[in-house]
């Protein structure tokens, strides 16, 4: 490639940056060079940037003032995402990648969309499965065959994050051990379900929304949560009817079971199964199968996963302009779908306690 790699600035340098983004960027030296890392903890910024020979910024303003920083990745805790995405856009950067969720509600998401339109700076959201080449190949085929999903099931079983983080890298900022949550407390159960939807299921909700018929896509007015519960020691179960289609999502963090991340889609005429690698695992893409009658067609595995896919997408967008970026309307509706499901599910969990 003739062009110089794009300069990257990273905001927030926690386990996700150390175990996901830096190993991914290390595989893409022709596309990206990390120039600066900022964290509210200067020690963390210095230690993480020192590992890769990048600069450390003490503040967001300092990172954004660095002209070598052409694209920005926002990897801080979610509460800070919207304001930091907007600051990066206003600083005139070429594109922004924001970890999921990119906002906490519709109002924030719409503010981001407005500033993106005003400044022309595109944003993509790191809901990694959206960028998995196994998924994109399979869904393109599914849509071209005109199948209409009536049932979608998401099943996620993972060890606690720290196990895969420490397999991917030597994490400089290990997560503090947290005790077992008190599931007798209804607010803990409600928080676990909404946290599970916004933290784990969120990677698949844009896929699920895309699999609903096109006329149903701004679906949030017609979402009915029919079951929701917290699972011990940590997990969620959620059943919802979306325009009469069944969406069922189960997620559990446990050391005991085989790690699994699957999305199963059923129509009257076909079924599609996507088997994703667990989060933090750098081992290629999802493998997808579409079965119609007697025939099963397989997609993947491709050499790269959704994490690499999102960085590749960012590079394409930053190089060719915002026309190549996903529409901000889609990002808003994806976010609102997730937030509405999370809050309806938490509401249901609280109600069950009252009965």
- Shortest Å distance, C-beta 20 to ligand NAD: 6
Q: Which among 22-30, 69-77, 248-256, 326-334 is the span making contact with ligand NAD, rule CB under 6 A? A: 69-77
Shortest distance (Å) from residue 161 CB to ligand NAD: 6
Candidates 32-40, 63-71, 180-188, 316-324: pick the segment binding ligand NAD (CB under 6 A). Answer: 32-40
Are 231 and 193 in contact, with CB atoms under 8 Å apart? no
Taking CB under 6 A as the criterion, the residue among 23, 46, 51, 78 binding ligand NAD is: 78
Using the contact rule CB under 6 A, the part of the chain among 12-20, 130-138, 221-229, 244-252 near ligand NAD is 12-20
Among 32, 39, 250, 326, indicate the residue that binds ligand NAD (CB under 6 A).
Answer: 39
Tell which one of 8, 69, 71, 75 touches ligand NAD (CB under 6 A): 75
104 within 8 A of 130, measured Cβ to Cβ: no
Q: How far is the CB of 78 from ligand NAD (least distance, A)?
A: 5
3-state helix, strand, coil in the chain (%, to 5): 45, 25, 30
Contact between 82 and ligand NAD by CB under 6 A: the answer reads no
Q: Is 15 in the site for ligand NAD (CB under 6 A)?
A: yes
- Asked if 11 touches ligand NAD (CB under 6 A), the answer is yes
Pick the piece of the chain touching ligand NAD (CB under 6 A) from 6-14, 117-125, 176-184, 345-353: 6-14
In the stretch 190-229, what mask flags binding to ligand NAD with x, by CB under 6 A?
----------------------------------------
Cα dihedral 186, 189, 194, 198 in deg (nearest 10)? 150
The three-class DSSP label of residue 210 is helix
- Give the chain's radius of gyration (CA, Å): 20
What whole-number distance in Å separates Cα of residue 274 and Cα of residue 144? 17
Stretch that binds ligand NAD, among 72-80, 184-192, 217-225, 236-244 (CB under 6 A): 72-80
In this chain, which stretch among 71-79, 85-93, 245-253, 336-344 interacts with ligand NAD, using CB under 6 A? Answer: 71-79
Distances (CA, A) of 62 to 18, 37, 51, 67, 75: 21, 10, 20, 10, 16
Under 8 Å CB-to-CB from 146, ≥6 apart: which residues? none
Query: Contacts with ligand NAD: how many residues (CB under 6 A)?
Result: 23
Taking CA 288 as the corner, what is the angle to CA 336 and CA 198, rounded to the nearest 5 degrees? 25
Q: Which pairs from 208-217 meet CB under 8 Å and 24+ separation?
A: 208/152, 208/154, 208/247, 208/263, 209/333, 209/334, 209/337, 210/139, 211/139, 211/142, 211/149, 211/152, 211/265, 212/149, 212/242, 212/243, 212/245, 213/148, 213/243, 216/242, 216/243, 216/245, 217/333
- In degrees and rounded to multiples of 5, residue 161 shows phi and psi of -45, -40
Site string for ligand NAD, 48-67 (x = CB under 6 A): --------------------
Residue of the chain from 70, 99, 308, 334 that contacts ligand NAD (CB under 6 A)? 99
Positions in the binding site for ligand NAD (CB under 6 A)? 11-16, 20, 38-41, 44, 75-78, 80, 99-100, 126, 128, 173, 279
């Amino acid at each position: 490639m003739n062009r110089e790699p794009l300069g990257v600035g990273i905001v927030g340098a926690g386990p996700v940056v150390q175990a996901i983004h830096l190993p991914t960027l290390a595989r893409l030296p022709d596309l990206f060079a990390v120039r600066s890392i900022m964290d509210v903890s200067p020690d963390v910024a210095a230690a993480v940037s020192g590992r890769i020979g990048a600069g450390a910024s003490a503040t967001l303003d300092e990172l954004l003032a660095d002209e070598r920083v052409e694209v920005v990745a926002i990897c801080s805790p979610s509460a800070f995402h919207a304001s930091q995405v907007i600051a990066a856009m206003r600083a005139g950067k070429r594109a922004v990648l924001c970890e999921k969720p990119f906002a906490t509600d519709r109002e924030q998401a719409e503010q981001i969309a407005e500033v993106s339109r005003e400044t022309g700076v595109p944003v993509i959201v790191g809901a990694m499965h959206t960028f998995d080449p196994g998924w994109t190949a399979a869904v393109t085929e599914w849509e071209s065959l005109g199948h209409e999903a009536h049932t979608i099931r998401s099943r996620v079983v993972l060890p606690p994050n720290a196990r895969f983080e420490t397999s991917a890298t030597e994490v400089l900022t290990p997560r503090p051990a947290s005790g077992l949550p008190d599931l007798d407390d209804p607010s803990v159960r409600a928080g676990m379900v909404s946290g599970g939807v916004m933290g784990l299921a969120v990677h698949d909700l844009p896929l699920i929304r895309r699999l609903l018929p096109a006329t149903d896509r701004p679906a949030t007015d017609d979402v009915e949560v029919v079951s929701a519960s917290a699972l011990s020691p940590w997990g969620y179960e959620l059943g919802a009817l979306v325009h009469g289609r069944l969406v069922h999502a189960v997620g559990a963090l446990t050391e005991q079971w085989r790690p699994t991340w699957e999305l199963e889609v059923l129509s009257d005429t076909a079924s599609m199964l996507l088997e994703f690698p667990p989060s933090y695992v750098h081992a290629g893409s999802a493998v997808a199968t579409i079965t119609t009658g007697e025939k099963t067609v397989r997609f993947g595995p491709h050499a790269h996963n959704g994490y690499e896919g999102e960085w590749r997408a960012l590079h394409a967008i930053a190089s060719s302009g915002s026309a190549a970026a996903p529409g901000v309307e889609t990002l808003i509706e994806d976010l609102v779908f997730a937030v509405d499901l999370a809050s309806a599910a938490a509401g249901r969990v609280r109600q069950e306690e009252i009965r």
